[in-house]
A and B are shown apart, each in its own frame.
Chain A
Amino acid sequence: MSTQPHSEEEQGRRNSSPANQATSLLVADCGAVFTKVSLFGLVEGQYRLMARGEAPTTTTPPHEDITVGIIQAINVIEFITGRHFVEDKRIISPEQSTGDGVDVFIATISAGGPLQLAVMGSVSPALENLASQSISGLYAQAQTVPSPTFVAAITPAAVPVGAGPTGAGVAWTPERIALEWERQSGRIRELHPHAALIVGMADAPAGPTPLQEACQLLINAARERNEQRNGSSQDSAAQCSVIYAGAPQYVEAVRRMLNGVADVTRVDPLISQAQLGPISMAVGALYERNVIQHIPGYERLHSWSGSAPVATATSLSSLVRFLAQHYAMNVTAVDIGGATTTVMLAGEQGEFIPMVNTEVGVASNVGPVLQKVGWRRIARWLPFDTSEEEIRQFVLNRIRHPHALPTSPRELQISHAFAREAIALTLEEAKKNSMDWPDSDLILATGGILAHAPKYGQVAMTLLDALQPRGVTSMVLDKTMLVSQLGAVATVAPITAVQVNENDAVTHRLGTCVVPFGNVEPGQLAVRVGVEYSNGRQLTVDVMGGTIEVIPLRLNEQALLTLFPAPTVDVGLGPGERARAAEEIDGGLVGLIIDARGRPLVLPSDETERQARLLQWSQALGI
């Protein structure tokens, strides 16, 4: 388990006073594909969502200004409310007596792409893993560039390293080390990182030399860049950012070496999970400085707000942890966007496992999903015949037109198939960082593809297929796409965040879901479900293995639930153990879902049978 920083909270403290008295707030969430803007205001003493607008994000030509998309989304709100919020490309603030303007403007951002981070020095597999964990909650991608002497020290001379230039399988002669230098220099050139993280202690296999070599690689790269840019090696305008988490006794030497080449931020040496927080904060700060602040239109955006824009993932993580502690439960949040997919688990004991997967999404980053899983894993979720060409055409269209919405049922189903795989890939990554992934009490889903799904059953099915939860869990859809903004709102207006969250963000409860696991035999009784409704009506349903059943339990209805699993089947208390809920469970927009398809979920290999099953399951969920 790792603990991520609350960097935005510090910002919030700096800007906390006036916002607490705010009667109206505009909150913009600028995603890679769409920008969503929400208007919060006071209604009968409670902060509520009053209107929201959406427009394509405009960071690329022809607009090349992030504020254009925000203003377009605000224009939708202006149309709905009849109020004016923008004048001469500025937010009218504070709120006027006419109702125009707002008191506070806040922005969260996931547009702009991830921070590219080179992990350098004595990068052992353990340190590589720690570095990866430290950035798992951020929009950042780490690539390892170990120092040549470190590679030589940990690679036995007689064993080939690979097919590359170093893979000669000979002794580490000076020539071979020189080749390794060339290879690592090429990696730096190719990656063109925004920043570097230097790690390694003096007692590492090659001693402190790898630290010096990491600096030298950065110096060489800076020299090359400057020569290319200006034809002069004297120019030092393009400075790199370095986080030094290596042996503390060499920090000054590193600073001296990188003087004029990189600005060096020192953090505690990375040796265990205890240092993940500070490194995460340092990388988060670099993301704001090297990515967010370079987004076209940033200056104007910042001028609209009293506080700096916050990374959307950071905002979401704040809210998820708040919910876990407030409701004393394990909360899994899923945010699926065009370029990024996020899965976060926050536990009631303070555990937090974030995974921001900046490589996969359902629009501009749908290509890597196909590349990682192959077309058959996409096609397996489709209840109709398809072909590799159709799936690839879909991907080509999406990456060229990330704003496109699926207008036909077929396109929608392909989109949801990609969403399943993007979530599953991200969950796999998250589980690599945690040996123990607790079962979730609540699954909170957000992101355009889920929020815009025409039927709630489609969302429920996507989550069940992708996350494959076990035991008893509840599913909530953030249809208003507010949750990823509320963490940022909470830093400047905590009361607003709490009230909007309860009044508007988590109101689309899909239902409670029971997922028996263990040895679930298809066609055999998996679990007998006893339901005692609040009005006294009782119902018993036998659910067979390989099926999904939905028991009517509407929104605002409650019932007591008793589960009688088959002897080899577990509902959370052990095989065959009966479970009776101490409290009434809540209904939802879908109902009480019993997913007895088994875990892990295995789809029939026969095409006809697979399609038939998918249709049966869809019908059960009302799709």
Chain B
Amino acid sequence: MTYPLGWSVITQTVVRRERWPGGQRVKAIPLVQPGQEVLPDQPVLRFARELQQEALQSAARLSLPSAGTGTNVKEMPSGASNAAETIPAGLHGQVVSITPRGGVVIESRAAVVQGTLGAGNQVAGILTIWPGPGRMQHPIPAAAILVVPGPLNFTLLRQAASSGVAGIVASSISLRDLEGFLRTDLIQLIDTENAEQAQMRLPPFTLLLTEGLGGAAMPARILNLLSQYQGAIVLLSGATSTRQRIFPELIISLPINETQDWHPLQADPSPTLGALVRVCSGEQEGTTGTIDYLFAYEQTFKSGIRARAVRLRLEDNSLLVVPLTLIERIG
């Protein structure tokens, strides 16, 4: 099961996350206390001064430019004197605890998009939809979290990284391009026992892929959700470790008006009739559909393997029979 929260997208849930920009050798000074309400652009951490340089080298572009409450973060110069010293919350919610290393744990009512693959430390930034080459009407804000609806490539990644973007949410990329950009062996990276340490060796850039490797486009339901919150300050983490069961995620704290009369969604991962699912492996990887029929007996597949199976009705109304273990529920 790829998605620890059950589905790939959960529009209403309660999350608790430690705000920690990555790196293990630094000690941070929390600027808030348990019980305190924080806003997404509110600084919640400051690095100890003697370790600051080391921290920032290992996790560059990890924070928004420092901003006070109500300040338009887009207007703050990225090189402001105290820009690198503090780390914004990235979430709207309540501080519930401080970890021994100084990380701030925040509880927030949020929408969560979970990726299948990613890389890079936790960063906060302004969610910005990329309309395509040459179509951007405004300059990309510094430390933006850029949403690229289509597949990425090496050149696009390089351009984004050099333009000051903090992170990218995209659908997919080829293995070769991703490894070329990260300059690492992806198998070793995601098969690691220590995801946080592994991220320290990567370029200072955070990436979340909703579909994974290949050339698949971003599903409309994810793009629609992200478009809805364009301009919001969000929290993105790219770290992926199959051994530690860590997967990339984008957390969008819900605006106050959306949290009134609010109930968290319980994501039921069981494959029931009518459930929206995604094929997670094989020739049909990335295909989505609804469960149309649950076979009572094992079915035989092209390889000759027999397995319990489901029939999916795809978006174009065609039918597809896949093994039960090849699907993961997404809604």
Contact = CB atoms under 8 A, between A and B. Distances in A.
Interface stretch (A363-371, A484-492, A591-599): A363-371
Interface in B232-255: 242-243, 245
Interface string A441-455: 000000000001111
A401 B305 CA distance: 17
Contact of A62 (B3, B175, B300, B326): B3
Contact of B187 (A370, A408, A411, A455): A370
Interface string A391-430: 0110111011101111111011000000000000000000
A407 B100 contact: no
Interface string A208-223: 0000000000000000
A460 to B, nearest CB: 15
A229 interface: yes
A61 B4 contact: yes
A371 B192 CA distance: 13
A370 B188 CA distance: 11
A161 B120 CA distance: 35
A399 B190 contact: yes
Which of A63, A227, A367, A407 is the most central at the interface, judged by chain B CB atoms within 10 Å of its CB?
A407
B182 interface: no
A407 B188 CA distance: 26
A229 B101 CA distance: 9
Contacts of A403: 1, 325-326
A469 interface: no
B303 A371 contact: no
Contacts of A79: 296
Contact of A400 (B101, B188, B190, B301): B190
B280 A408 contact: no
B191 A405 contact: no
Interface in B1-25: 1-6
B267 A62 contact: yes
A56 B308 CA distance: 12
A392 B305 CA distance: 23
Contact of B303 (A76, A395, A397, A408): A408
Interface residues of B, number: 43
A605 interface: no
A228 interface: yes
Interface string B297-331: 00011111111100000000000001101100000
A231 interface: yes
A403 B242 CA distance: 13
Contacts of B296: 79
B281 interface: yes
Contacts of B304: 409, 412, 454-455
B282 A407 contact: yes
B157 to A, nearest CB: 18
Contacts of B101: 228
A60 interface: yes
Given A400-B117, A400-B242, A404-B325, A60 B187 contact: no
Interface string A353-395: 0000000000010011011000000000000000001001101
B231 interface: no
Interface in A452-467: 452-455
Contact of A395 (B187, B285, B323): B187
Given A407-B322, A407-B326, A396 B186 contact: yes
A390 to B, nearest CB: 10
A406 B242 CA distance: 20
A453 B307 CA distance: 11
Chain B contact residues: over half helix, strand or loop, or mixed?
Answer: loop
A407 B186 CA distance: 24
A408 B281 contact: no
B191 A367 contact: yes
Contact of A399 (B242, B300, B305): B242
Contact of B305 (A61, A62, A63, A454): A454
B176 interface: yes
B150 interface: no
B325 A405 contact: yes
Contact of A404 (B3, B100, B281): B281
A409 B4 contact: no
B213 interface: yes
A405 B5 contact: no
Interface in A184-239: 227-231
Interface residues of A, number: 40
Contacts, number: 115
Given A62-B269, A228-B100, A400 B303 contact: no
A407 B116 CA distance: 21
Nearest to A62: B6
A392 B175 contact: yes
Interface in B207-266: 212-213, 242-243, 245
B187 A367 contact: yes
| From B3, B4, B117, B267, residue with most partner A Cβ within 10 Å | B4
Nearest to B323: A405
A411 B282 CA distance: 8
Q: Which of B116, B303, B308 has the most CB of A within 10 A?
A: B303
Interface in B151-209: 175-176, 186-188, 190-191
A412 B305 contact: yes
B50 interface: no
Contacts of A404: 280-282, 325-326
B176 A407 contact: no
Contacts of A408: 282-283, 302-303
Nearest to B116: A400
Contacts of B301: 405, 407
A368 B192 CA distance: 11
B275 to A, nearest CB: 14
A407 B301 CA distance: 6
Contact of A396 (B3, B175, B269, B282): B175
A56 B269 CA distance: 12
Contacts of A56: 1, 325
Contacts of A396: 175, 186-187, 190, 213
A54 B117 CA distance: 28
A63 B268 CA distance: 10
A407 B325 CA distance: 11
A63 B308 CA distance: 20
Nearest to A58: B1
Contacts of A409: 302-304
Contacts of A392: 175, 186-187
Contact of A405 (B242, B243, B245, B307): B307
A229 B1 CA distance: 30
Contacts of A63: 1, 269
A149 to B, nearest CB: 29
Contacts of A399: 187, 190-191, 242
Given A230-B100, A404-B325, A60 B245 contact: yes
Interface in A12-43: none
Nearest to B303: A412
B323 A371 contact: no
Contacts of B305: 405-407, 412, 452-454
Contacts of B175: 389, 392-393, 396
A35 to B, nearest CB: 12
Contacts of B117: 400
A401 B1 CA distance: 7
A302 B220 CA distance: 45
A418 to B, nearest CB: 13
Given A231-B100, A367-B187, 11 more contacts: A62-B5, A62-B6, A76-B308, A230-B100, A400-B117, A400-B190, A401-B280, A404-B281, A405-B301, A409-B304, A455-B304
6 contacts: A228-B100, A367-B187, A396-B187, A400-B280, A405-B305, A407-B305
Interface of A: 54, 56, 60-63, 76, 79, 227-231, 364, 367-368, 370-371, 389, 392-393, 395-397, 399-401, 403-409, 411-412, 452-455
**Interchain residue pairs A-B with the least CB separation, the first 8:** A454-B304, A404-B281, A61-B4, A412-B303, A403-B325, A367-B191, A62-B6, A407-B301
